[in-house]
Amino acid sequence: MLYSKLLLPTLKEAPQEAEIISHKLMLRAGMIRKVASGIYTWLPLGLRVLKKIENIVREEMDSSGAQEIFMPMVHPKELWEETKRWEKMGPELLRIKDRHERDFCLGPTHEEVITDIIRNNVKSYKELPLNLYQIQTKFRDEVRPRYGIMRGREFLMKDSYSFNIDEDSLQESYLTMRETYKKVLNRIGLKYKISAADSGAIGGDSSEEFHVLADNGEDTIAISDSSEFAINTDLLLKKDENINSLEGKPSPDGNGVIKIKKGIEVGHIFKLGKLYAESMKANVLNSDGKASTLFMGCYGIGISRLVAASIEQNFDEKGIIWPHNIAPFDINIISIGHHKDKKIASAATELYEQLTKMNYSVLLDDRKDGYGTKIKDSELIGIPLNIIIGKNYIENKEVELLARNGQSSKNAINDIKTILDFFKNQ
């Protein structure tokens, strides 16, 4: 991609509407623009990151054996009445009417729709277990949207639903999803904790949250300093206690002492049991030929929120630092004097084509600006590797490699292997 052709409106200063770092940087880096409170357009750079995360999630879901489907975002009132949620849910459920005055809502989650599909199309325990997922825009009319994409009203989420004949099978599906989420977060390259959680409005038997650790996190979790144990402090606090009183106490799992950490909830997995299946009469015939209520699990991971969470965990005073696997571009070629010196322009273009052919995603900064402007933008948008072509090329066919983490070296321009080794070792 040529920088000069890319819609990438970077800002030197953050708009005053932004408070936290990820929101400021996403605006400054030209990733998103606000349309209304909690509702955003994703610009090309932001969308690239969003798609990278989406694809990682999709690949891991597919390899876990789940199947992708796509459900509507507009749901008829009748389905939501079956589970009593039409009444139970407050104004966060955005209700609308069609031209015939029929009631609908924008789907904040999809238990009703998926359960309806399953009860109508699955008849025997032999067809189970099933795990179906979708990647879709959800709408929740939050009381107070905030922090940009982090708590928007419209957001991109992967939600999946498992259907099982019994509790043991549900447990298996649940653990498979738990492993899948670990793989997703490991691939993205984020530090996280899995903590026991309150199952909240969605209900059900038990649930765990996946928290990306970041100082700006909205959730507070208590972790053990010497084991994997973690728990949302909401579940640990007695009514008169404050969070600080937990610090240093013995960990509930018996290993070490409690440390308090801030986290961003990016995933939540639930064992729902028969909760929705019962009210919606979702049954299959079991091996005895008798109707048997399904056991369900549901598993959500916030794709758009992961973009913000990744920034909250990885940034510096210069801008965003993307983990390699979700960076919008792998490499930025900074061509200095691109419009003045044909030798530099053609060397930069040749390198660009060569790397692109090798399946790297490459940005070529061919703008008429000076080095300062180009490197500042590159650091703001967080490209892992800069290859700088300028006077060193003219003098002795060398380029400078400058990684986003600060490491640098000089290399012969035709020594692609060493350049790529430098990239991979970051």
Residues that bind RNA (CB under 7 A): 10-17, 19-20, 23, 34, 36-38, 92, 140, 142-147, 150-152, 155, 157, 200-202, 209, 218, 265-268, 300-302, 304-305, 318, 336-340, 368-373, 375-377, 379-380, 388-393, 399-400, 402
How many angstroms separate the Cα of 393 from the Cα of each of 118, 232, 410?
Answer: 63, 55, 10
Q: How far is the CB of 359 from RNA (least distance, A)?
A: 26
Residue with tokens 């606090």: 237
Spatial contact of 389 and 334, defined as CB atoms under 8 Å apart: yes
Q: Which residue has the tokens 């703008």?
A: 367
Task: Give least dist CB 81 to RNA, A.
Answer: 21
What's the closest the beta carbon of residue 171 comes to RNA, in angstroms? 20
CB 43 within 8 A of CB 29: no
Minimum gap (Å) between residue 368 Cβ and RNA: 4
Cα–Cα distance for residue pair 106/142, rounded to 1 Å: 13
| Closest separation in Å from C-beta 420 to RNA | 19
Token duo for residue 33: 């623009």
Nearer to RNA (CB atom), residue 160 or residue 164: 160
Short-list 179, 162, 195, CA closest to 273 = 162
> What backbone torsions phi and psi does residue 182 show, to the nearest 5 degrees?
-65, -40
Calculate the CA dihedral of residues 105, 107, 111, 116 and round it to 10 degrees: 60
Contact in structure between 139 and 73 (CB atoms under 8 Å): yes
Residue 262 Cβ, how far from RNA at the closest point, in Å?
Answer: 12
- Residue whose CB is less far from RNA, 103 or 400: 400
* Strand-by-strand arrangement of the 74-76 sheet: 74-76, 103-106, 95-97
For residue 305, the minimal CB distance to RNA (Å) is: 4
Residue with smaller CB distance to RNA, 172 or 400: 400
Q: Residue 163 or residue 192: which is nearer to RNA going by CB? A: 192
Start-to-end C-alpha separation, the chain: 23
Q: Which is nearer to RNA, 160 or 173 (CB)?
A: 160
Q: Least distance in Å: CB of 327 to RNA?
A: 18
Q: Is 111 in contact with 80 (CB distance < 8 Å)?
A: no
Write the DSSP string, 17-73: T--SHHHHHHHHTTSEEEEETTEEEEPHHHHHHHHHHHHHHHHHHHHTT-EE----S
Q: 284 or 348, CB closer to RNA?
A: 348
Q: Which is nearer to RNA, 13 or 87 (CB)?
A: 13
Query: Beta-strand (E) ranges in 145-294?
Result: 154-164, 192-197, 206-213, 219-224, 230-232, 258-273, 283-285, 291-293
Kindly state the tokens that stand for 14.
Answer: 């953050």
**Shortest reach from residue 216's CB to RNA, in Å:** 9
Compute the least distance from the CB of residue 59 to RNA, in Å.
20
- In the complex with RNA, the residue whose CB is nearer, 107 or 145, is 145
Nearer to RNA, 128 or 197 (CB): 197
- Cβ proximity to RNA: between 34 and 119 the closer is 34
CA distance 416 to 43: 31
Q: Are 220 and 245 in contact (CB under 8 A)?
A: no
